[in-house]
Amino acid sequence: MNNNNNKNDNRDASQKRRIVRLPRMLPMLLILFLIGSMITSGTFQVTRAVDYSQFLDLLDSGSIAAVEVGASEIGFTLLESADATAINNILSTDGKTITPDAKTVYITGRMDDPGLVDRLRESGIKFTQVVPKNNTLLSIILSLLPFILMIAIYYAFFRMMAKRSGGGDGGILGGIGNVGKSKAKMYSVEEKTGVTFLDVAGQDEAKESLAEMVDYLHQPGKYAKIGAKQPRGALLVGPPGTGKTLLAKAVAGEAGVPFFHLSGSEFVEMFVGVGASRVRDLFQTAAKSAPCIIFIDEIDAIGKKRDTQFGTNDEREQTLNQLLSEMDGFGSNTGILVLAATNRPEVLDPALLRPGRFDRRVIVDRPDLPGRESILKVHAAKVAMEPDVDFHAVALASSGTTGADLANMVNEAALRAVKMGRSTVSQEDLIESVELVIAGKEKKDRVLNEKEKRMVAYHEVGHALVSAKQKHAQPVQKITIIPRTMGSLGYTMSVPEEDRYLLTRGELLGQITMLLGGRAAEQIVFGDVSTGAANDIERATSLARKMVTQYGMSDAFGSMGLESAQNQYLDGRNVSTCSEQTGAQIDNEVRLIIESCQNEAVALLEQNRDALNRISEYLIEKENLTGEQFMSLLEQDAA
């Protein structure tokens, strides 16, 4: 809503600008008009250069009407009544005849000729001004023209810049001066966010640590009396979509204070110094409506460590310094609370994190099982649900998702219900939408041929069988060979009975074996392998590598750490901390793990070859298998 208002403001301003522009154009128009009228009114006289000897001949022939002797040249006009043939004899060179007129001014260079004045006296010719002086005014204007043009371009340029940064009106100087001002456009203000802690589900610890700040904003006096200083800021840290923005809004909503929202990347703009002046501007405005909350999203855009190996960015540094000094500057009980969000806390400048600034860190991580269940319920409350929906089951199937994913799932389920012509959302809708969000949309138009379908079926059942038959078994939830848009041709969902935070070496090996089960099945049944295992292989290898480099689970290295994690809240990329030689050894260790797991998978499947065939053929026919169907087929085999 605020954004819309801002847009309207912008439009109003630009209309105003167009109106005031006309009078400013006036001087330019005047100058153009002047030049034009000079040309047409004949201020420009025709001039003609002649030799000094010709001048003397004309003088002797008595054809000259008036003469003006300048410092370096002599101008003269001819008598209209003069003898045309005599003049032509003297002047004409290229056969053109000249009719003497009063308008044409003849010019010749002034020679050192002391007798000239006497001679002119004798002939009785008038000494007057014949060379038009207006010329000089024109030449002044002409020589000024480039400057005028330059100023015009300069002016237009700054107008454009000022406009781009949302800046205001005014002349050339106004344009420059206003670049950094551009108030109210850099952040949005919500007087009432309308969000409360009830809207944020599953982040109990985060809510708890923020509740104290709400209490402070409610009654700062209580804290001031004891002498406790106001908490200045908190940093919300966690992966995208986990509800950081939502939490910040909830704090404002709970405290009933205005919410200033801006993102770090908006701070860093083209003009040097603008970021800093925006910070200043923001804090000034906020101070007027204190108590309030300032929320800086993506603070890593400005708050990066100042001494990076990639060189420095002056603009960003200035902005950061301004932010630091503003945070120090506001008195301890002004009632401004600064919240910031990032998913890369490790790149932040230590100065930002020291006490008195963002000293509190609130971790907003991916929700756990009960968390997911309650997030689903929060969002399900907004749509018409069938009463018997089992949110626990949905939460179980959506391990690893964020709050934003879950909100999306509920919405997708509602869309599906509408598409099916139902008026309420059913369990089936929800489970379908989990798959939709996790595995991508079902792609009905991609049809596998018979051979591909067999291969995919055996591949998926291979995963499922290895998963069910190994020591650290996980129940299979669903097997499907309906292709999805995300690239997988089939899909086996096995769900742990609870969320796991700690995995043992045996369990990790079990996971790798399970991932390699698909490839193993292809190998056993078809004697050939397909490209369908690419993703399995990638995941298995990365698990095995982590076991060696991070979890200390290899025979060769034991508990030696060989990689350190960076960006653990974003993509979890790791940076090697060992020598190249050791790197080669790591590769070898990883290969050993993969090999032994692969052998294990093949062995497991060979032991259960009948089940593999039976279940795969069933799957080829049905395309979908539930966990129960799978288990009953498996047990039937054992009997």
The least distance separating ligand ADP from the CB of residue 392, rounded to whole angstroms, comes to 17
Stretch that binds Mg ion, among 238-246, 332-340, 394-402, 408-416 (CB under 5 A): 238-246
User: From the candidates 460, 522, 589, 600, which is the catalytic residue?
Assistant: 460
Nearer to ligand ADP, 374 or 470 (CB): 374
CA separation for the pair 282, 266 (Å, rounded): 13
- Closest of 329, 276, 622 to residue 457, by C-alpha: 622
The residues with which 126 forms a beta bridge, in sequence order, are 66
Q: What is the largest CA-CA distance in the chain?
A: 147
Q: Which two tokens stand for residue 183?
A: 């108030």
Write the Ramachandran bin of 623: left for phi over 0, alpha for psi from -120 to 50, otherwise beta: left
The least distance separating ligand ADP from the CB of residue 297, rounded to whole angstroms, comes to 7
Nearer to ligand ADP, 168 or 371 (CB): 371
Provide DSSP, 564-607.
EE-STTTT--EEE-S-HHHHHHHHHHHHHHHHHHHHHHHHHHHH
Residue with tokens 């950094």: 180
245 near Mg ion (CB under 5 A): yes
Alpha-carbon dihedral of residues 481, 486, 488, 492, nearest 10 degrees?
Answer: -60
| Contact of residue 518 among Mg ion, Zn ion, ligand ADP, none (CB under 5-8 Å per partner type) | Zn ion
CA separation for the pair 199, 245 (Å, rounded): 12
**One symbol per residue from 605 to 634: x for binding Mg ion (CB under 5 A), - otherwise; what is it?**
------------------------------
Nearer to ligand ADP, 78 or 407 (CB): 407
Nearer to Zn ion, 435 or 536 (CB): 536
The least distance separating Zn ion from the CB of residue 512, rounded to whole angstroms, comes to 13
| Contact of residue 439 among Mg ion, ligand ADP, Zn ion, none (CB under 5-8 Å per partner type) | none
Stretch that binds Mg ion, among 245-253, 350-358, 527-535, 542-550 (CB under 5 A): 245-253
| Contact of residue 466 among ligand ADP, Zn ion, Mg ion, none (CB under 5-8 Å per partner type) | none
Residue with tokens 């907004």: 382
Alpha-carbon dihedral of residues 568, 574, 577, 578, nearest 10 degrees?
Answer: 150
Q: Are 541 and 619 in contact (CB under 8 A)?
A: no
| Contact of residue 490 among ligand ADP, Mg ion, Zn ion, none (CB under 5-8 Å per partner type) | none
- Closest of 134, 241, 184 to residue 6, by C-alpha: 184
Amino acid at 320: L
Nearer to Zn ion, 316 or 478 (CB): 478
CA separation for the pair 63, 83 (Å, rounded): 7
| Contact of residue 404 among Zn ion, ligand ADP, Mg ion, none (CB under 5-8 Å per partner type) | ligand ADP
**One symbol per residue from 194 to 233: x for binding Mg ion (CB under 5 A), - otherwise; what is it?**
----------------------------------------
Nearer to Zn ion, 238 or 518 (CB): 518
**Number of residues lying near Zn ion (CB under 5 A):** 2
The residue sitting closest to Zn ion, measured at its beta carbon, is: 518
SS3 for 542?
Answer: helix
Nearer to Zn ion, 194 or 400 (CB): 400
Nearer to ligand ADP, 247 or 594 (CB): 247
Nearer to ligand ADP, 140 or 198 (CB): 198
Tell me how crowded residue 111 is: count the other CB atoms within 10 A of its CB: 11
Nearer to ligand ADP, 244 or 304 (CB): 244
The residue sitting closest to Mg ion, measured at its beta carbon, is: 245
Tell which positions 531-570 bind Zn ion, by CB under 5 A.
Answer: 536
The residues with which 342 forms a beta bridge, in sequence order, are 237
Contacts of 467 (CB under 8 A, 6+ apart): 473, 474, 476, 492, 494, 514, 517
Nearer to Mg ion, 567 or 582 (CB): 567
The least distance separating ligand ADP from the CB of residue 406, rounded to whole angstroms, comes to 7
Stretch that binds Mg ion, among 161-169, 240-248, 512-520, 552-560 (CB under 5 A): 240-248
How does DSSP classify residue 345? G
Contacts of 240 (CB under 8 A, 6+ apart): 343, 402, 404
The least distance separating ligand ADP from the CB of residue 342, rounded to whole angstroms, comes to 10
Q: Are 107 and 73 in contact (CB under 8 A)?
A: yes
**One symbol per residue from 528 to 567: x for binding Mg ion (CB under 5 A), - otherwise; what is it?**
----------------------------------------
Q: Are 578 and 586 in contact (CB under 8 A)?
A: yes
| Contact of residue 536 among ligand ADP, Zn ion, Mg ion, none (CB under 5-8 Å per partner type) | Zn ion
| Contact of residue 378 among Mg ion, Zn ion, ligand ADP, none (CB under 5-8 Å per partner type) | ligand ADP
Strands lying side by side in the sheet with 188-190: 188-190, 259-263, 292-297, 336-342, 233-237, 360-363
The least distance separating ligand ADP from the CB of residue 256, rounded to whole angstroms, comes to 20
- Closest of 252, 345, 237 to residue 290, by C-alpha: 252
**Number of residues lying near Mg ion (CB under 5 A):** 1
Tell me how crowded residue 176 is: count the other CB atoms within 10 A of its CB: 16
Which phi and psi (to 5°) does residue 304 adopt? -65, 155
The least distance separating ligand ADP from the CB of residue 245, rounded to whole angstroms, comes to 3
| Contact of residue 201 among Zn ion, ligand ADP, Mg ion, none (CB under 5-8 Å per partner type) | ligand ADP
Tell which positions 497-536 bind Zn ion, by CB under 5 A.
Answer: 518, 536
CA separation for the pair 202, 370 (Å, rounded): 7
The least distance separating ligand ADP from the CB of residue 201, rounded to whole angstroms, comes to 4
The least distance separating ligand ADP from the CB of residue 385, rounded to whole angstroms, comes to 16
Catalytic residue at 460?
A: yes
Q: Which two tokens stand for residue 446?
A: 């991609």
The least distance separating Mg ion from the CB of residue 265, rounded to whole angstroms, comes to 12
Alpha-carbon dihedral of residues 271, 276, 277, 280, nearest 10 degrees?
Answer: 170
Residues that bind ligand ADP (CB under 6 A): 200-203, 240-246, 341, 375, 378, 403-404, 407
Q: Are 517 and 463 in contact (CB under 8 A)?
A: yes
- Give the count of alpha carbons within 13 A of 593, CB side only: 29
The least distance separating ligand ADP from the CB of residue 244, rounded to whole angstroms, comes to 3
The residue sitting closest to ligand ADP, measured at its beta carbon, is: 403
Which phi and psi (to 5°) does residue 517 adopt? -60, -35
Instruction: List contacts with Mg ion (CB under 5 A).
Output: 245
Contact positions vs Zn ion (CB under 5 A): 518, 536
Residue positions annotated with a catalytic role: 460
